[in-house]
Amino acid sequence: MQRILEMIETIDQSSKSDYLLCKGMEIMWSKGYNATSVNDIVKAAEVPKGSFYFYFKSKEDFAIKALEKYFSMHFTPANKI
Per-residue pLDDT of the chain (81 residues; tens, 9 = 90+): 444 334 334 435 568 889 999 999 999 999 999 999 999 999 999 999 999 999 999 999 999 999 998 888 777 655 555
pTM for this model (two decimals): 0.73
pLDDT of residue 78: 56
**Cβ contacts of 8 within 8 Å, gap of 6 or more:** none
| pLDDT score at 73 | 78
Residue type, 51: S
What are the structural domains, with CATH classification, of the chain? Answer: 2-79 (1.10.357.10)
